[in-house]
Amino acid sequence: MLHLFLLRLLPVLGLLLSTQVHAKEQVSPCIQYEKADQNRVHIAKIDLHCPGIQIIGTPIKQANQTTSNFAFPNKTTVAINGAFFDANNKPQGLNVSNGIRWPGSYDTTHHSFLACTLENRCFIEAPNRKTAHNPAWHTVISGWQTLKNGRYICPHGSQKICHSNARGQHPRTALGLSNNNRYLYLVVVEGRKTDFQGYTLNQLARLFKKMNVNNALNLDGGGSSTMIINRTRVNELPSRQFFLERNVANHLGIIDTTPH
């Protein structure tokens, strides 16, 4: 009898475990949030067809602060850290916030970017391109490696350091566009924990491919990786940081004003 009871219980346990790992939460009318891989991977899915969705970058006067300190005053529904930055805390590549290009900011073949208009028409630049700034772009966030069809692509001219970064397991922040450009995905992977080191870029690329996203972009990661949803940081930071978020040059925020 006990054996029969356990057999009947197994499908229920399987469903509970599946719900725990892959549970999806509607955090706003047009933004869905879920956790995966031992709850160490955080995924926000934004419907760009919703007229109440607004995509913002960090106002230049709010540069070099934590993701939480960007998210709170701007009342974002979801926020993540943004571009890689140099020793002077300047974001690398082309970055545009609220239609204003950052001083000295321009695209290079070493960077690719996500660009969105006020109407949320977005695209991700192909690797190894150099694209002039378009005044119609309201928000631009630059990244480094492109994640395409389940694998990462290094830009020409930075192969050694790029591959070294890509092959290690680290906390990661990335974004991707669905193949029909309707959905924007924001992903933060935890790491540098005793029980979870993070993802390689091929692991990250395969995650996007599993979500039917063939075009994605790796942003600044490591100790910078942070996702804030409705005023709460959902990811754990690397163990050595304790609870201290890192100041980063810029951020990407999504505001959903769609009526409930």
Listing DSSP states for 154-175 in one string gives PPTT-HHHHHHHHHS-B-EEEE
CA 205 vs CA 138, 146, 155, 214, 258: distances in Å = 27, 9, 16, 8, 31
pLDDT of residue 90: 95
pLDDT of residue 73: 96
Whether 6 maps to a domain, the answer reads: no
Number of domains in the chain: 1
pLDDT of residue 14: 36
Whether 9 maps to a domain, the answer reads: no
Strand 183-189 and strand 41-47: the pairing is antiparallel
Q: Is 123 helix (H, G, I), strand (E, B) or coil?
A: strand
pLDDT of residue 22: 53
Whether 251 maps to a domain, the answer reads: yes
**Could you give the count of Cα atoms lying within 13 Å of 23 in the half-sphere of its Cβ?**
11
Question: Cβ distance 96 to 59 under 8 Å?
Answer: no
Whether 19 maps to a domain, the answer reads: no
pLDDT of residue 70: 97
Please tell me the pTM assigned to this model. 0.90
70: which 2 tokens?
């960007």
Neighbours of 29 (CB within 10 A): 16
Question: Cβ distance 27 to 77 under 8 Å?
Answer: yes
Whether 199 maps to a domain, the answer reads: yes
CA 132 vs CA 84, 101, 123, 211, 223: distances in Å = 20, 12, 14, 31, 31
100: which 2 tokens?
């204003």
pLDDT of residue 167: 96
Whether 13 maps to a domain, the answer reads: no
Where in the sequence is the domain holding 247, given as residue range(s)?
24-256
Using CA of residue 184, residue 158, residue 249, residue 135, what is the dihedral sign? negative
Whether 4 maps to a domain, the answer reads: no
Q: Which residues of the chain have pLDDT under 70?
A: 1-22
Residues 118, 116: Cα–Cα separation, whole Å: 7
Whether 97 maps to a domain, the answer reads: yes
Residue identified by tokens 């790029």 is 162
